[in-house]
Amino acid sequence: MSSSPSLSNQGTNKIGFGCYGVTESQANEWIREAIITGYRHFDCAFLYQNESAIGKGLRKCINQGLIRREEIFITSKLPMNGMDPTRVNYFLTKTLENLDCDYLDLYLIHAPFCVKYITDNQFYPVNPESGRLDIDHTTNLNETWKSMEQVVDSGLVRSIGLSNFNENQMIDLMASCEIKPSIVQNETHVYFQQKSLRNFCHQNDIIYQSFAPLGSAKSAAINGHDLVIEDATINQLAVKYQVSNSQICLRWHQQSNITPIVGFDSLQHIRENIKLNHFTLSTDDLAIISQLDRNERIFYFDKVPGTRSHRYYPF
């Protein structure tokens, strides 16, 4: 079992620009601002349905000489309806066309539960007879991973990894793979610290990334969760270090050997959330934040009935 090629060009700032929710009208301005501000890692996915807009924004910056392709790290993800091994290359080709690039630095399996392919953009197909998720019962994750390994061998992808997998699923996959996952990306924030999974990844030399590193305030509120960025302890630390609550949370990620993938709702937040290197949380303050863990997941990806009964449902 080997590792994927070097991931050293993730960006010296150890933070990713999350492209989920970026609209076509925002893409050019936000990506330009991100590159000027110092972001080098752009986290995309076919499921986000905005890769063409992201690709145009990145290409415009490259053509203007603001950045070279080899200076940025582009991630995308294989959707759940593309996990039949024969469809991996198909969806990768679509993503490369949309992003207007010749290769990806990283390609992740977006989630472990496979669904039937109906059309490219039906990610949660519903069986018309049962009203439940139309599950693909035939695809085996290990076979999907073999196809992921093949796109590394082809040169279309530099590294491969996983998203939303649990530890047992990773152990099973790694028992038979030729190229082990280079990166795992899962929901992680102050209220859901994923200590066991992080330890497993670090012990196996797998880079750990977090999505929703600020606790995804909008989704948390909709689902009745307390908001991480309004936590009283986080607020006290922000006052102590004279930074924002978001900066405290993101710095905790970095000092915990986690690369946060951050979403944004304004240009101001793009500028602010990368300014993390001018302060360091003390050992005592890191311990205080560690005690805030509630093991409280926000995202279950179960909006369609029947999802939780999938044999590969990870949570």
How many Cα neighbours within 13 Å face the side chain of 52? 4
Cα-Cα-Cα-Cα torsion 25, 48, 147, 172, nearest 10 degrees, comes to: 140
Euclidean distance between CA atoms 72 and 62, whole angstroms: 10
Cβ 230 vs Cβ 245: under 8 Å: yes
Enumerate the H helices of 156-244 as residue ranges: 167-174, 195-203, 217-222, 232-241
Q: Which is it for strands 160-163 and 106-109: parallel, antiparallel or unpaired?
A: parallel
Euclidean distance between CA atoms 89 and 47, whole angstroms: 16
User: Residues 48, 107, 117, 191: which is the catalytic one?
Assistant: 48
Euclidean distance between CA atoms 262 and 212, whole angstroms: 7
Answer yes or no: 48 catalytic.
yes
Euclidean distance between CA atoms 169 and 236, whole angstroms: 39
Residues annotated as catalytic are 48
